[in-house]
Structure 1
C-alpha cells in the first residue's frame, strides 16, 4: 500500500463487498470542511485498496453516515451500521461525537477505528473494541502550553464555549501553565460579544488569547475584533484546536487569519508516501489537504491490513489492534496502551505547532515540535 499498483499489477476486486461504516460531519452544525477532508482521505484509500485487489478479492465499500456533530445521531448511526453487517466503523472528527460512537461500538461489539477525535476519555471504561490514530488531547495541549511559556506568554485568556472538549483543553492548559507560574482566565464567548471580549482582555492584561470556540462562528468575528483593537496589538491569538488548518479560515479572514498558532498532526518532512498521497488528495479536494485528510487515508490503510491479515470477523478485528504494524503517511503506525487512555492508541503521531505565515498565508511555519 506504500505505492499505487501499476496497471499491470492492479487487480479488480469483485465478490460480495466488505462493508465499513464511516462517520463524518458533513452538514452544519458539524465542521463540514473537516468532514469533507476526512471523507476524501477515506475514499482515496478505499479506491487504492480495491485497485490492489480488495480484501482477498472482495471490494471494500464505505457506508457513510453524516453525524452533523450530533452525539445521539452518531450513536444511532453505529447501531444502524452494526445491523447492516459492517466489519468495523471508522472516522469522526468531533471529540464528543466520537466518544458517543465509541461507547455505542463498545456496547455492541463493533470495532471502531477513530480517525481524528482527540479527547483523552474516548470511552469511560477500558475497551478492546476501539483504537485511535489521532494523538490524545492532553499530549497536544501540553505541548501548546509549553510553546506559550517559551514565547513568554504567561497571562493567558481563553475564549470558550460549553463543551466537554473545550473544558478538557482548558484544564490541560491551566495545569501545565500553573506548574510554571502561568495563569489562565476563562472568558465565556456565549455571554460576551467580540467587543466586550476585547474589553475583558485589555482589563486582564492578557498576553495571549486562545480560541476554544467553534469556527467560523464565533471564532472569525472574535479574530476580526481583536485584530482591529489597538489595545491588543501585542496579543498573541492562538487556536490549539486547529481552526486555521483549513482553507476556509484563510478565505474568511485573509491576512487577519495568519500568525495564529495551532496544533497540526503532520510531520515536517512527509516522506515519499506522504508526498504521493498528499498530491492525490490535493487533486481530489481541489485544495491543499489538511492533516485530517491524511488521518482518513491512514485509517483505511490500517484497517485494510487488519482485514487482510486477520479476516473480517468483528471480534478478530478488535483483537488485532495490538498487532498492527503499518506504514502510514505520517510514520509507522502501531497501537499500544497509553496511561490514562482506555482505548488502543497510536502514541507517536506527530505533533507540531504551526501558523500561517503572515508574509504568505498559504504557507505554514513550524513554530514548535511536541
Structure 2
C-alpha cells in the first residue's frame, strides 16, 4: 500500500495603503508537502514593509513623524502572515492524523497484539461444546470485528490474495479464485480484469454493513467467470443433469463444473470456499445488530430465507481439502491487519462436524477430547474413517485416540 500524499500550495498577496504610509506584503507562497515521513517545507516567504511619505518618497524612519504608524502597519502585515502560517500548520497536523488513520487500517503497530493472534486462548471458551452451543460461542468470539469500507476491500485483496504469499506487498499480481490465473493488481475493477466475488452471494442475505465487506467471504475473481457463476449455490453437477458444463466457463479452471443451479470451484479451493461459508453461517447466523437476516447453511438452499448450500457437499469438501499454508496465512493476515478476527474452521476444521453433525459423514471427537487425549470407544469402521481423515489432514490417528 503506497503512502498517501497530500500537497497544498497557498498564494496570497496583501497590500495596505494608508494616507501616511504604505505597507506591502510581497507575494507570499507556502508550499507544504505531507508524506508519511512528515516532510514540511516553506518554499519561499518574502515580506517587505517600506515607510513612504504621501509623495511616495523614501524617508528615514528615524527622522519621520510617520514612523510609529508605519511600524504599526508593517506589524499588521506580519500578524496577517503568521495567521496564514498558523492555519496551514493546523491543516498539516489534521492531514497527518488522516494519514495515520489510513495506514493503521492496513498496517497496525507491530507492538500491538490483537486477541485473535493468540490462537490457543482465542478459542479457549469453545472447549467441551458442540452443536448449537458451539456455534453460539464461536459467534460471540468472531462476530465483533473491525468493518471495512467497500473501497478498502480492493487494497486488502491485493495483499491477502497476492500471487507471492511470502512477499504480498511487493507482488504485482493476485490469484483469481475460480480461474487460478495470476493477473496484475492494476486490473482491479477493469472490464477485462478482476473484481470482488462474494462466495456467499449478496442475494442470499448480505446487506450493507460488515457482512457485505467481510474479507473472509470475498475473493478476487475474473469478471467473466464471476458473472457466469452469478448467485448459484455450491455443489457438483447433479448426476442426472444433462446440462453439466465442464469447465464451468471457458476462462475458469478445467476442474470446475456447473449446471442450472450448482457451481463447483477448482478442487484445490473447494475446502477454502466451504470453510468461508461456514464462517459466514456462524458469524452472521444469529440476529444481527444492523437488522440483517440470520444466515444459514442448508441442503435446500433458498435466497428468500438466506439459506446457502449445499451443506452436505461443503462438509465433504472441508474433509477432503484441508487448510493449505496459503489459506492459513490469509486467515492470519485478516486477523492481524484488517478485521481482527479469525475463521474458526481454518484453525479447527473439526468444528464443522461438531456443529452440523447430522449432515456430516464423519463424526469427529470433541476438541477438548483431542487436547486432553481422552479415550473414547469406537467401532472398526469409525477407526477406518479416522485414519482416512488423518491421511487427508496430516494428523495422527490412533485406535481410541485422535491427535492433531
TM-score interval for Structure 1 and Structure 2 normalised by the shorter chain: under 0.3
Which entry has the higher C-alpha Rg, 1 or 2?
2
Write 1 or 2 for the structure with the bigger share of strand: 1
Instruction: Give the TM-score normalised by structure 1.
Output: 0.24
**TM-score, normalization: structure 2?**
0.23
